[in-house]
Structure 1
């Protein structure tokens, strides 16, 4: 798939690349996620912890980050973003296309 189909989410030190799929939102192998994000409310923490147990999220060389060991399909861009940020996330408004800066929401119109 061409690079203009990928979206990026940057949160503190984390940087993740993802794209919409027919059955969810795919985050690309090598993307990073915060171990401890700043918001206190973390509705996607259980999903994040499950991915750590399954070896999808592994420790990164930066102690503040996890790294995706393989591509992972999430149920939505918001859950994917919540795991990357380690905090609540509006995926359609947070994932942006690096080529033109359009949000996922704007790009899907």
Structure 2
């Protein structure tokens, strides 16, 4: 039960809705990547490929925002309530990595 509410064991049981949403996003991104690969294989013009790469980057950013929001609302909030302040430091260390 403890793993369901915190990430301190580096696993997290996600709700069915959260799981489905994240997997759906990843499936769309995977399809976009396959599409870009096909464009390269078909010698599609560079700018057309770059537009699709930009769309994938935006989709990955959306995935990251959703995952981070879920992490803060669940793992971080629960750990703070439980007095586990080290989770705040973990989040503070994570943010610069996400802002590259």
Question: Aligning the two structures, in what range does the TM-score lie when normalised by the shorter sequence?
Answer: under 0.3
TM (norm. structure 2) is 0.27
Greater share of residues in helix: 2
**Based on CA coordinates, which of the two structures has the bigger radius of gyration?**
2
Greater share of residues in strand: 1
